[in-house]
Amino acid sequence: MATALQILMFTSFRFALFFGFLLFGIIPRGLANPFPRNGPVVPGRVARLRRGIAYAPAKAPLPVKRAIWAANELRSKPYRWGGGHASFFDIGYDCSGTVSYALAAAGLLRAPLCSNELTRFGDRGQGKWITVYARNGHAFAVIAGLRLDTTAWNGWGDRDAPRWQLTLRPPRGFEPRHPDGL
């Protein structure tokens, strides 16, 4: 028969293990529904932006739609240097944390990458649906025609934070990468 001390130790171990999972952003697969499975859609092959929310194109592959729907969740989050690096789920996100979150929702990443690591993501060049632009110190993505970025390249932005933008950003100095087939 188990003693009270053995029961307490086992219970404490289970609590510590579960708390550690929560603390470090590790959530067992069966306990979480981490990324959205649906969201707003518009006809055609190009995403549209309405009041800060991106609408995925109906003709886009499902991974592209899921990346867009997931990135929509970040639009109210603040910019946080290093945010989204230890875990896909954070209180704020930096540039590479934002891009990593969208790519993970699409099923393209298992762990967050920093901007320097994103320079080696996928294949070289622009993609048909998703292009990641990365350099040491910054990363952004263009998904179905919309730019997902944490900064306004022209200085006209009101804040640094994850958001969709209609304006293009010159890719000079960035390494364009894309996921295979997208």
Where residue 103 sits, what CATH number does that domain have? 3.90.1720.10
pLDDT tens, position by position, 79-92? 898 888 888 888 98
Domain range for residue 52? 36-178
pLDDT tens, position by position, 139-160? 999 999 999 999 865 555 555 7
Same domain? 88 vs 125: yes
Same domain? 9 vs 49: no
Model's pTM, two decimal places? 0.79
Same domain? 65 vs 155: yes
Same domain? 89 vs 126: yes
pLDDT tens, position by position, 23-53? 455 544 444 548 999 999 999 999 999 999 9
Measured CA distances, 84 to 12, 25, 57, 80, 103 (Å): 29, 10, 26, 8, 12
Query: Across all residues in the chain, what is the average pLDDT?
Result: 83
The sheet carrying 48-50 orders its strands as: 41-42, 53-57, 48-50
Please state which of the ranges 12-16, 132-136, 169-173 shows the lowest mean pLDDT.
12-16
Same domain? 67 vs 121: yes
Same domain? 58 vs 77: yes
Same domain? 21 vs 94: no
Same domain? 7 vs 41: no
